[in-house]
Every structure is written in structure tokens, then in C-alpha cells.
């Protein structure tokens, strides 16, 4: 496709660039090309450069992974400087250089964002989350995994202004405690997916409040939440009839007595039943799984 577009710059009848840019080229042709190829296309001619700039200004989705493993800071700023219609923003590949200085202008001029991915962007600050809260009232999906700068005040701002949230990933946001999670779920009762994994400060209080406030919850990740116990898992089973998956690996205080209730409902769990775990362990130790008559 890129080759066909490049060939169109040669003098010929019916040149591609003669087609309406905003009505045909941008929404129906360029949208099917990878972003990295579009950036290369800018170097073909001044006309193509203008066309690609028009495309970038009207782009609905920006995913840094489409450009490659490394995107220069200046290139990112230039790519999105004229865009005010973004709906999806994924910047998980920008952790080495992305700071508030680069992100805040993009957030501030794009009020239609409903998906934001900032996984591992460790150089941002709480001001980034506050900016998202104030600029993106229709936000539905947000990943802040491994963003240890997220604190209770910035999460409170998110909860106050983004009540349409359905998916939130707070994996390894280690500043957060039960109180912050409770405030989030009280304000954002439409949550369907929530990750609180790898957070030693999260316990039964947060899990129980999540269960009571979010009846639409389908996926919950509590991996490594050492303070979570059986009681909150039972509350989860009682209040979340739509729950489809639960991760509790390395939650040493969660036992089959509570998980069995969810298992009987067909909820996908990341830990095996006790007998199955015993067989796997035995197989690892002796190198084979012995035959056991389960009918005894």
C-alpha cells in the first residue's frame, strides 16, 4: 500500500493526491496504513507531508508501539501538537523520557479521550493524573500499572471527575491504601475490571467495598495482595454475580473455603483446587504424576 501511494506522486492521470483529502484519503485510505509507514511517507514530497500532517491532526488513536521501540521526545511532541480529537492514547513505550511536560499539553487539548495507557511511565507525576481527571470526563479505560507516583489525592480527583470508568489498572501503585480504593469504587460504580495487584497495602476493606459498590464487576486482580483474606472473597461472591475471573495467586490468606464458592459458579481462578495443586507439586518433585483412584 505504501508503494502504491509513493508511485502516485509521479505525473500521471488520476493522481492519488487529486482525491479529496479530508473526505477520502484521510478517513478511508491512510487509516489502514501503519503509523510508522505514514511517517516515512512524509519524506516523499511536500504534498505528502501536508497530507500526513492533516491525518495526524485528525487521528483518533495514537499507539506509540506502532512507531517502534523508541520514539524521540521531539517527534512525539510534533506528531500530536495539532490533534484535538484523540480518543485512544497508548504510551507504554515512552517510559524512558515521557514527563508531565510532554504529556500535559496533549491531555489538555484532547477532551474526547476514553482510553489512556500509561503503563510503566515512571517519570510522570500526580499532576498528570489530575490533568486527565479534569480534561477527560468520558474516560472509560485507564492503565496506571507500575506508576508509583499515583497517590490518594490524585486518585480522588480521578474518581470525582471520571465516573464513567469501566476499566482501571492500578497494579503496583504502592502508595495506595484501602481508603483510596474505597473512594474510587464508591464514585465509579460502573467498574467492570479492576487490578490492585502487587500492592501490600490493599486488604479486605478495599475488596469488600469494591464488591458492594460495583455490581457490574467482571474481572478483579488481587495478585500478591497479602492482606486479603477469605472473608472479603466471600463478600465478593455474594455481591458480584457477574464476576468472570479472579486472580489471587500469592494471596496466602485466601483458601479454598472461599474460592470454592466462586469456582462452583464457573468463575475463572488463577489457582488450582487443592488436590490439583498437590498433584502438580508431586509431579514436580518425583518427575511424574502417579495414578490416584479418585472414586475411593
Nine-digit cell string for 93: 513505550
Q: Would you kindly state where each structural domain of the chain is located, as residue ranges?
A: 33-146+158-167, 176-282
Reported as a single tens digit per residue, the pLDDT across 3-17 is 454 444 444 445 666
For the cut 80, the answer to whether the pLDDT of residue 201 exceeds it is yes
Q: What pLDDT, on the 0 to 100 scale, is given for residue 28? A: 62
Mean pLDDT value of segment 68-93: 87
Q: Which residues are paired to 142 by β-bridges?
A: 116, 168
Which CATH architecture does the domain made up of 176-282 adopt? Alpha-Beta Horseshoe (3.80)
Q: 31 vs 241, which has greater pLDDT?
A: 241
Task: Identify the band that residue 275 occupies on the pLDDT scale cut at 50, 70 and 90.
Answer: low
* Distance in angstroms (rounded) separating the CA atoms of residues 178 and 185: 11
Listed residue (177, 227, 223, 230) closest to 198, CA to CA: 223
* Distance in angstroms (rounded) separating the CA atoms of residues 118 and 90: 7
Task: Identify the band that residue 2 occupies on the pLDDT scale cut at 50, 70 and 90.
Answer: very low
Helices (H), the chain: 2-7, 35-41, 46-57, 73-80, 100-108, 126-135, 152-161, 178-187, 204-213, 230-239, 256-264, 274-286
Amino acid at each position: 500500500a505504501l508503494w502504491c501511494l509513493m508511485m502516485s506522486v509521479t505525473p500521471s492521470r488520476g493522481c492519488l493526491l487529486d482525491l479529496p483529502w479530508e473526505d477520502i484519503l484521510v478517513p478511508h485510505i491512510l487509516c489502514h496504513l501503519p503509523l510508522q509507514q505514514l511517517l516515512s511517507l512524509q519524506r516523499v514530497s511536500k504534498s505528502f507531508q501536508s497530507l500526513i500532517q492533516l491525518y495526524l491532526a485528525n487521528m483518533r488513536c495514537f499507539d506509540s508501539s506502532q512507531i517502534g521501540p523508541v520514539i524521540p521526545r521531539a517527534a512525539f511532541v510534533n506528531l500530536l501538537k495539532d490533534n484535538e480529537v484523540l480518543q485512544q492514547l497508548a504510551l507504554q513505550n515512552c517510559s524512558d523520557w515521557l514527563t508531565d511536560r510532554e504529556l500535559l499539553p496533549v491531555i489538555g487539548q484532547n477532551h474526547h479521550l476514553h482510553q489512556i495507557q500509561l503503563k510503566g511511565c515512571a517519570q510522570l507525576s500526580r499532576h498528570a493524573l489530575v490533568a486527565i481527571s479534569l480534561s477527560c470526563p468520558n474516560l472509560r479505560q485507564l492503565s496506571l500499572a507500575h506508576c508509583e507516583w499515583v497517590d490518594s489525592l490524585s486518585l480522588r480527583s480521578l474518581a470525582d471527575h471520571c465516573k464513567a470508568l469501566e476499566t482501571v489498572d492500578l497494579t503496583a501503585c504502592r502508595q495506595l491504601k484501602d481508603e483510596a480504593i474505597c473512594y474510587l469504587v464508591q464514585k465509579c460504580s460502573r467498574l467492570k475490571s479492576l487490578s490492585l495487584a502487587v500492592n501490600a497495602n490493599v486488604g479486605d476493606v478495599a475488596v469488600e467495598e469494591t464488591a458492594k459498590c460495583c455490581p457490574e464487576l467482571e474481572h478483579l486482580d488481587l495478585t500478591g495482595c497479602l492482606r486479603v483474606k477469605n472473608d472479603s472473597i466471600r463478600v465478593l461472591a455474594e455481591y458480584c454475580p457477574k464476576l468472570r475471573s479472579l486472580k489471587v495467586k500469592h494471596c496466602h490468606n485466601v483458601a479454598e473455603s472461599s474460592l470454592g464458592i466462586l469456582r462452583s459458579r464457573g468463575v475463572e481462578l488463577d489457582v488450582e483446587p487443592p488436590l490439583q495443586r498437590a498433584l502438580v507439586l508431586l509431579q514436580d518433585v518425583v518427575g511424574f504424576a502417579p495414578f490416584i483412584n479418585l472414586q475411593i
